[in-house]
Amino acid sequence: MNKSVVTLLIVCGVFASTARQASAQGATWADRGYINIGWGVESGSSAMTDTRSLSIYEETGTLSSSSDFTSGSLFDVGVGLRVWRNLTVGAGYHQEQNDTEGRLTGSIPSPVFFNRPRTLAQAVPGLNRKEQATHLQIGWVIPIGSKFDVMVYGGPSFFRLTQEAVSEVRIGEEGGAFTTVVTTPTITERKKSQTGYNAGMDATYIVWSNDSVRVGAGGFVRFTQADMNVEMLSGTGVPTKVGGVQFGFGGRLRF
């Protein structure tokens, strides 16, 4: 099992134990709703590779395009309302963006010598990947004392992925001996949408309040994921995962 998922399960277990104790005391959440704004990190990665054959100089060669995307920092916001006792219905949104250096590799036939292919190895810098997701969150809030509460939630997630990929490669030659292969890659922006899921916990500590609102700080841990296919070099979909284990902190408003 992925280490990040194991960590999430441990954290959820600790919160769940605390929640059970508070629930046994019959605590009722008195606020009408919440607004959360935060920043965090996403732990996840996706390695993508696509290969196609090509006919050049009356021989067959191969081309491969690969890229490894690792997740980074994210922005997160959520709003929700209490609909019955401690039950809430809300929506969340997160956005995460990073770039990576892709790689082109392959075996390219020689224009001079038969059956003596040249090896291709070239970097493709600056491939961008942007992940956006809207989360429907059905939650249950457990007050623990007068200033601290924990919300456990889950629901479907609607992902939008925008990713740059190498879609075509033009082959050229460098040098009079035809020993060096040069390439000109075509970068295409792919856009994909897919439905996934989310589950997590959000903890809030109130630092100031009046008769209308309560203001605090808090943190969250969430697992969200969806599976997609992105067209690369061959034009067929290459599997990739979006989302992952997310940790973050930020401001909290209760009203």
How many CB atoms are closer than 10 A to CB 74?
22
- 185: CB partners within 8 A, 6+ apart: 65, 104, 124, 166, 168, 169, 170
pLDDT value of residue 237: 94
Residue 4 binned pLDDT confidence (cut-offs 50, 70, 90): very low
How many domains, in total, are found in the chain?
1
Overall average pLDDT of the 232-246 stretch: 94
Q: What is the pLDDT of residues 167-203, one digit of tens each?
A: 999 999 887 778 789 999 999 999 999 999 999 999 9
Q: What is the CATH number of the domain that holds 54?
A: 2.40.160.20
Overall average pLDDT of the 16-31 stretch: 63
- Whole-Å CA distances, 175 to 32, 62, 114, 172: 73, 22, 18, 10
Helix (H, G, I), strand (E, B) or coil at 58: coil
Range of the structural domain that residue 163 is part of = 3-254
